[in-house]
């Protein structure tokens, strides 16, 4: 599926809507209320910030080997102000949590903002890796959410914002340790699988080496998961005075980072050129799509926003061929339709103008 049109026409909005069919905060990592439709001001000069009065929702029909499944999700308009909450429906019935979405559909994306993934903070790289994990471990999303909630509650207790005793803090640290080690193990396992899949791949995109670096991950290199849990729990208890001052937690997988190296050059991705960094990202996403297709029997949906614009012609055509070879449903956007001519009749083309979609 190729969507072309000028900047601001609404192409990325379409991709963002699809991205909410996966767990998490979507393609822009935006708050749920920020997605609500907004009214333009009466004078037509721009957005006055007023919402339309209704929460958003998105639904899709997913064809799976066992049949067609209808899925949907959206913001709960009845939630308390300031407390974003997503509702999820499967075949018309509400379900608990977002994990069922990942069980039914894999969604992965690349956006222009991700071109700086290797240059910015570790948080963006962790979120990128977590989205890839969802395709193999649907419970990972709820595990990450519960872990982050427990971290916030522990920080509140340590700061004395709410009253609590050591037993309450210890109970939270028990949860943090169990979920934290599970999160680290899932990230570590997928990074290793991607590392092997990329090494086995071929084509013009550079091969990359992936590794999750962090204290908990180093413990998992040396000991069983239960022993790592014990060590994390003990370290959290030991660090309470320091964490009370800083308002965070000095140890845990929320401090870990995804390290990526350009294999042919032996160079960290952060030191590579902008074009090489983008090619490395594409290499990782394509390897993930191949892995997920083999493991689940169905390829993920790929959302590739403006991904072809800064690729040379040979890599652009190689990307198209790789996506077609995987058999993934891919949504590609761009301002220039000519970039996608190598796809010929193997893709559906649509033009987007002022939020209106028309076939080519």
Give the up-direction half-sphere exposure of residue 224: CA atoms within 13 A in the CB hemisphere.
2
CA distance 122 to 252: 13
Going from the C-alpha of 139 to that of each of 71, 133, 142, 190, the distances in angstroms are 17, 9, 6, 14
Beta bridge partners of 212: 258
Q: What is the mean pLDDT of residues 96-107?
A: 91
Pairing of strands 208-213, 257-262: antiparallel
The two three-digit tokens of residue 18, written as one number? 């699809």
* pLDDT for 273 beyond 60: yes
Q: d(Cα 255, Cα 122) in Å, to the nearest integer? A: 8
Least confident of 117-131, 190-204, 275-289, 328-342: 190-204
Is the pLDDT score of 90 beyond 60? yes
Q: How confident is the model at residue 172 (pLDDT cuts 50, 70, 90)?
A: very high
Confidence of residue 344 (pLDDT cuts 50, 70, 90): very high
Distance CA 229, CA 31 (A): 32
CB-CB contact of 257 with 213 (8 Å): yes
Model pLDDT, residue 38: 63
Euclidean distance between CA atoms 31 and 85, whole angstroms: 10
Instruction: Give dist(CA 55, CA 75) in Å, integer.
Output: 6
Burial (CB < 10 A; 0-12, 13-18, 19+), residue 203, is middle
Closest CA to 111 of 307, 310, 332, 352: 307
> What's the pLDDT tens digit per position in 188-240?
999 999 999 998 876 788 999 999 999 999 999 999 999 999 999 999 999 99
Q: What is the third-level CATH fold of 1-106+300-360? A: Rossmann fold (3.40.50)
User: E-strand spans in 80-194?
Assistant: 86-90, 93-95, 107-110
3-state secondary structure of 249: coil
Q: Are strands 330-334 and 301-305 parallel, antiparallel or unpaired?
A: parallel
Residue 346: is it exposed, middle or buried by C-beta count within 10 angstroms (0-12/13-18/19+)? exposed
pLDDT band at 45 (very low <50, low <70, confident <90, very high): low
Instruction: Mention every residue, 6+ apart, whose C-beta is less than 8 A from residue 44.
Output: none
Q: What are the start and end residues of each CATH 1.20.1050.90 domain in the chain?
A: 119-270
CATH code that applies to domain 119-270: 1.20.1050.90
Ranges of CATH 3.40.50.300 domains, the chain? 1-106+300-360
């Amino acid at each position: 599926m190729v969507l072309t049109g000028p900047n601001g026409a609404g192409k990325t909005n379409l991709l963002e809507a699809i991205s909410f069919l996966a767990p998490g905060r979507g393609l822009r990592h935006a708050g749920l209320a920020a997605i609500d439709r907004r009214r333009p001001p009466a004078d037509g000069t721009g957005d006055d910030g007023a919402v339309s009065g209704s929460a958003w929702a998105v639904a899709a029909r997913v064809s799976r080997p066992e049949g067609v499944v209808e899925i949907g999700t959206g913001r709960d308009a009845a939630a308390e102000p300031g407390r974003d909450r997503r509702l999820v429906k499967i075949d018309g019935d509400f379900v608990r949590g977002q994990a069922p979405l990942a069980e039914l559909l894999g969604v992965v994306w690349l956006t222009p903002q991700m071109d700086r993934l290797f240059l910015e903070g570790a948080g963006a790289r962790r979120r990128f890796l977590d989205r890839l994990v969802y395709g193999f471990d649907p419970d990972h999303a709820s595990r990450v959410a519960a872990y982050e909630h427990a971290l916030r509650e522990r920080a509140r207790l340590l700061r004395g914002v709410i009253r609590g005793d050591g037993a309450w803090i210890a109970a939270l640290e028990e949860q943090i340790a169990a979920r934290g080690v599970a999160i680290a193990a899932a990230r570590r396992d997928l990074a290793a699988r991607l590392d092997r899949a990329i090494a086995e791949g071929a084509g013009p995109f550079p091969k990359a080496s992936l590794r999750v670096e962090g204290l908990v991950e180093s413990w998992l290199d040396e000991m069983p998961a239960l022993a790592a849990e014990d060590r994390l729990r003990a370290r959290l208890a030991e660090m309470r005075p320091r964490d009370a001052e800083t308002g965070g937690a000095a140890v845990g997988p929320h401090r870990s980072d995804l390290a990526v190296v350009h294999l042919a050059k032996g160079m960290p991705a952060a030191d590579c050129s902008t074009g090489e960094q983008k090619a490395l990202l594409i290499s990782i996403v394509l390897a993930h799509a191949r892995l997920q297709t083999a493991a689940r029997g169905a390829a993920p949906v790929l959302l590739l926003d403006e991904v072809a614009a800064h690729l040379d012609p040979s890599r652009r055509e190689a990307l198209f061929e790789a996506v077609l070879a995987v058999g993934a449903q891919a949504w590609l956007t761009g301002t220039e339709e000519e970039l996608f001519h190598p796809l010929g009749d193997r893709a559906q083309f649509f033009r987007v103008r002022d939020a209106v979609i028309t076939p080519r």
